[in-house]
């Protein structure tokens, strides 16, 4: 083994997913010397094996493309899983990209097992960890011999399975169930709990289950998988579901293994503990010079959360630090109908209104001969401030954004009620829910 | 002539368009005795001859329906221009609907020439005028003998013209040009001024002109029509455009004629002057007991403006008055790309970002093989408060709503910049414009 080379820079970033990449680019743009270490895809999973190909397949299914056409579009959207463009862009931005596995990450130092051979130690005033998350393989007897897919495999597959069983009921599970069904697979979705999207109000999962069922997905909720047997997946009820592929979409866990982080830097779920400035914290407070962004923080598994954390780290390191704000992180699911939730969606006073009751729904139903489903539920605190919203319906990821901003700005029902929404938009569904909360319709 | 019958009620509403209808329904719901006078369609133009059939034709064109199918859908959406359902609903809500022409409208009294014969005088503590607007026929030589359409005729036509010339460049003109082109007409649009949607920033009209041109519409800007000659419409340039129909979409004017309103109650444009409580005002201040809502006020020709004014009148009459707020009335045009503007879109500091640069655009372009165009421009005042926005792009009527709320709530760039928008949504186009205004990318 050769002696590791050493280099001292301003910042070393471990992991080049959306958050890490943004930190590296913006700090390099501000004149800092930045090394970015990546063991897999430069750019992370999102553009190659996660968000981007998933949304691509959903849009292609909706546009009624064939599997072959959809696969070609997916691969084009995912740059054919070739990260050389992303790496070149980073280099052009002044970031030194090092391909290899970080074997030790500590304040001020990162040791890298280089893909090109040898080792390298990079010293830096600041280390930013953005090592992401990985699929969790459920402890299901019989799984080892089975034809399984991780979501990454499902999003880079060459072949369309005739029979796909999706294990899980979260955003990834429902998006892939709808996409593969739309592209021609027979799809069964097995969700352990009583409803899909278990963190959201139960009606949200209900609307989505109805939509998937209408698409032809066999949705099984409240009937947990117990083992893989010859011939399929056996559920608690005794039903055995035959499959050609079993997609494991039962969750992800932060990637912190092998770095030797002390236990007190980690949450119970194994994420790196961070404060509002995205500094890693232990029992004695912030760890000098160590930051974390993205899925590894366990805050919320979204690209836009990672980006917000990245901006927080950049601001901190450029001397204009300000706290991250997680009060209004959108939780979007790009199915049809689309789901868009934000803030607190339980516990508070709430009112709900069905999307199909607005004029836009009539217009769409008539011209597209397509049923509109969904609703908006608003949640307010005792002072009348909007604290959360759950939106389901066509384009909810667009019209729901108004509510995310309202939560972020802590706007109250009175102002929201007194605001004018355009006719005939989907946004009009928001008003009757406000009216109910405002009590304005009472004489 | 028989002696007019007399009746005393709490409120008489003249005109049953969106605003008048809402006033009548809500006040009747609050126990007031309400008479609603309508000389034409109960419910006004919007559901039968304006917004609703226009949006229906646009959606049908986008869904690539045939003219015959689109016409059927349009007629279904417009209740086959049968207002008996709307009238029955109002009666069911406790409103007395009187079909006839109001010949005199004054505080406390309305005289009606009944369609069923005879006259009727209705006395009321309060009179609400919602008489709407009517198409203005341009003073164009040779127009009288020509095969013209008003927008109402274009939205209830039995036949598709082979060659349609649209005169005008406002919202109605561009929506109908795109709809008829999509449904198969050869369409030429003639706009006197240099760009479409002349009240909005010129790039908005430019994007729309490009989109219409790509659809196959012949867009002629800055070349005013001078006369109708044998064989077509002659423009200033000398060009003669042959047509089978000439759609007159050059503007609308408030309907106040025949009511004998004093001059000092009217604006220069002929609208009823109103204050923030929607009271009609003359030089001596508010006229006791007389309100106005909708197009007749000249505030803004949108159904949602009329509804906001209606809520203002209802609140006032129910003893919990509050001022109307016109600071953030959306100006939506339902073309593809969609236009959504709000607040002040000139004069202030601004920044613009192209919609096609966000990830969502890539995804849509790849899966639908359709080019994405549009941009968002944000306008801030010296204090950094967002005062206006112009949005053009797919679903801009949905994602633009966030900006309308921001204008209404007077949110500043700093908060908007620090808010998290979901990946990969259209809303992401907002961030770079904010970044430019915020100056946050500077080291």
CB contact under 8 A, B76 and A427: no
Smallest Cβ distance to B420: which of A52, A328, A367?
A328
Q: What percent of chain A has pLDDT over 90?
A: 93
Average pLDDT, chain A: 95
| Separation in Å, CA of B40 to nearest CA in chain A | 22
A18 CB neighbours in chain B (<8 A) are: 423
Interface test with A, best of B277, B299, B419 (most A CBs within 10 A): B419
Picking from B56, B302, B325, the nearest residue to A367 by CB comes out as B56
In this predicted structure, what is the pLDDT of residue A4? 56
User: Three-class SS string for chain B?
Assistant: CCCCEEEEEEEEEECCCHHHHHHHHHHHHCCCCEEEEECCCCCCCHHHHCHHHHHHHHHHHHCCCCHHHHHHHHHHHCHHHCCHHHHHHHHHCCEEEEEEEEEEEECCEEEEEECCCCEEEEEEEEEEECCCEEECCCCCCCCCCCCEECHHHHCCCCCCCCEEEEECCCHHHHHHHHHHHHHCCEEEEEECCCCCCCCCCHHHHHHHHHHHHHHCCEEEECCCEEEEECCEEEECCCCEECCCEEEECCCEEECCCCCCCCHHHECCCCCECECCCCEEEECCEEEEEEEECHHHHCCCCCHHHHHHHHHHHHHHHCCCCCCCCCCCCCEEECCCCEEEEEECCCCCEEEEEEHHHCHHHHHHHHHHCCCCCCEEEEEECCCCEEEEEEEEECCHHHHCHHHHHHHHCCCEHHHHHCCCCCCCCHHHHHHHHHHHHHCCCCC
Task: Provide mean pLDDT across the span A87-98.
Answer: 97
Per residue of chain B (443 residues), what is the pLDDT tens digit? 445 566 689 999 999 999 999 999 999 999 999 999 999 999 999 999 999 999 999 999 999 999 999 999 999 999 999 999 999 999 999 999 999 999 888 889 999 999 999 999 999 999 999 999 999 999 999 999 899 999 999 999 999 999 999 999 999 999 999 999 999 999 999 999 999 999 999 999 999 999 999 999 999 999 999 999 998 999 999 999 999 999 999 999 999 987 889 999 999 999 999 999 999 999 999 999 999 999 999 999 999 999 999 999 999 999 999 999 999 999 999 999 999 999 999 878 999 999 999 999 999 999 888 799 999 999 999 999 999 999 999 999 999 999 999 999 999 999 999 999 999 999 999 999 999 999 843 33
Contacts of B182 (CB under 8 A, 6+ apart): B58, B60, B61, B62, B64, B215
| Closest Cα in chain B, distance from residue A142 (Å) | 37
pLDDT of residue B440: 42
Nearest chain A residue (CA) to B407: A419
Contact B363 A302 (CB under 8 A): no
Residues in chain A within 8 Å Cβ distance of B330: 420-422, 425
Closest-CA residue of chain B to A364: B59
Record: contact B423-A30, CB cut-off 8 A: no
At residue A104, the pLDDT reads: 86
Predicted local distance difference test score (pLDDT) of residue B441: 39
Chain A positions touching B73 (Cβ under 8 A) are 366-367
Count CB atoms within 10 A of the CB of residue B100: 19
Kindly tell me if the per-residue pLDDT of A367 is higher than 60: yes
Among the partner-chain residues A77, A305, A427, the one whose CB lies closest to the CB of B398 is A427
**Nearest Cα residue to A234 out of A193, A188, A197:** A188
CB-based contacts of A425, cutoff 8 Å, min separation 6: A358, A360, A399, B330, B332, B397, B398, B401
> Of B46, B77, B420, which is closest to A330 when you measure between CB atoms?
B420
How far apart are alpha carbons B265 and B274 in whole angstroms?
Answer: 8
* Interface contact flag, B362 A77, Cβ < 8 Å: yes
A347 vs B84 pLDDT, higher one = B84
pLDDT (average), residues A95-119: 94
Q: Which pLDDT value is given to residue B7?
A: 65
Helix (H) or strand (E) holding A342: strand A338-343
Number of A:B CB contacts under 8 A? Answer: 199
Contacts of A332 in chain B (CB under 8 A): 422, 425
| Tens digits of residue pLDDT in A223-273 | 999 999 998 999 999 999 999 999 999 999 999 988 889 999 999 999 999
Closest Cβ–Cβ partner in B399, B405, B422 for A406: B405
pTM for the model: 0.96
What does the buried/exposed string (b/e) look like for B170-184 if buried means 16 or more CB atoms within 10 Å of the residue's CB?
A: bbbbbbbbbbbbbbe
- pLDDT band (50, 70, 90) for residue A201: very high
**Pairwise CA distance, residues B169 & B183, whole Å:** 19
The answer to whether the CB of A34 falls within 8 A of the CB of A27 is yes
- Residues on chain A touching B395 (C-beta within 8 angstroms): 395, 398
Task: Kindly tell me if the per-residue pLDDT of A20 is higher than 70.
Answer: yes
Q: Answer yes or no: do A421 and B399 touch at CB < 8 A.
A: no
pLDDT category of residue A5 using cuts at 50, 70 and 90: low
Residue A440: predicted pLDDT:
42
Residues A390, A343: Cα–Cα separation, whole Å: 9
pLDDT at A7: 65
What is the per-residue pLDDT for A6?
65
Q: Work out the average pLDDT over A407-415.
A: 97
**From the list A302, A325, A418, which residue is nearest B325 (CB)?**
A418
Work out the minimum CA distance from B16 to partner chain A, whole angstroms.
17
């Amino acid at each position: 083994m050769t002696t590791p080379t050493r280099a001292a820079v301003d910042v070393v970033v471990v992991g080049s997913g959306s958050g890490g990449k943004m930190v590296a680019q913006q700090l390099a743009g501000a004149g800092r010397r930045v090394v970015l270490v990546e063991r897999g895809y430069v750019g992370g999973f999102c553009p190659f094996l996660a968000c981007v190909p998933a949304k691509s397949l959903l849009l292609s299914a909706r546009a009624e493309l064939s599997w072959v056409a959809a696969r070609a579009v997916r691969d084009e959207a995912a740059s054919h899983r070739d990260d050389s463009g992303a790496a070149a862009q980073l280099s052009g931005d002044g970031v030194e990209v090092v391909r290899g596995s970080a074997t030790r990450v500590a304040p001020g130092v990162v040791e890298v097992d280089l893909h090109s051979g040898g080792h390298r130690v990079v010293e830096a005033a600041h280390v930013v960890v953005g090592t992401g998350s990985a699929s969790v393989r459920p402890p299901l007897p019989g799984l080892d011999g089975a034809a399984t897919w991780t979501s990454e495999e499902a999003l880079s597959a060459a072949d369309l399975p005739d029979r796909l069983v999706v294990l899980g009921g979260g955003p990834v599970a429902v998006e892939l169930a709808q996409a593969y069904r739309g592209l021609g697979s027979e799809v069964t979705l097995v969700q352990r709990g009583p409803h899909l999207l278990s963190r959201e109000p139960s009606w949200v999962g209900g609307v989505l289950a109805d939509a998937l069922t209408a698409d032809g997905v066999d949705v099984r909720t409240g009937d947990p998988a117990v083992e893989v047997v010859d011939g399929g997946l056996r559920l608690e009820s005794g039903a055995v579901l035959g499959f050609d592929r079993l997609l494991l979409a039962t969750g992800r866990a932060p990637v912190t293994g092998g770095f030797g982080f002390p236990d007190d830097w980690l949450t119970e779920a194994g994420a790196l503990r961070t404060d509002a400035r995205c500094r890693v914290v232990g029992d004695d407070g912030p760890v000098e010079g160590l930051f974390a962004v993205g899925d590894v923080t366990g805050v919320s598994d979204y690209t836009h959360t990672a980006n917000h954390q990245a901006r927080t780290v950049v601001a901190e390191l450029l001397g204009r630090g300000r706290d991250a704000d997680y009060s209004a992180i959108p939780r979007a699911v790009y199915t049809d109908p689309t789901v868009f939730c934000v803030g607190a969606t339980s516990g508070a006073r709430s009112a709900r209104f069905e999307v199909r009751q607005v004029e836009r729904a009539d217009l769409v139903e008539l011209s597209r001969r397509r049923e509109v489903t969904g609703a908006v539920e608003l949640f307010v605190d005792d002072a009348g401030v909007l604290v959360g919203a759950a939106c389901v319906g066509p384009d909810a990821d667009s019209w729901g954004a108004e509510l995310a901003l309202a939560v972020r700005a802590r706007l109250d029902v009175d102002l929201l009620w007194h605001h004018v929404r355009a006719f005939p938009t989907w946004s009009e569904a928001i008003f009757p829910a406000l009216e109910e909360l405002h009590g304005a319709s009472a004489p």
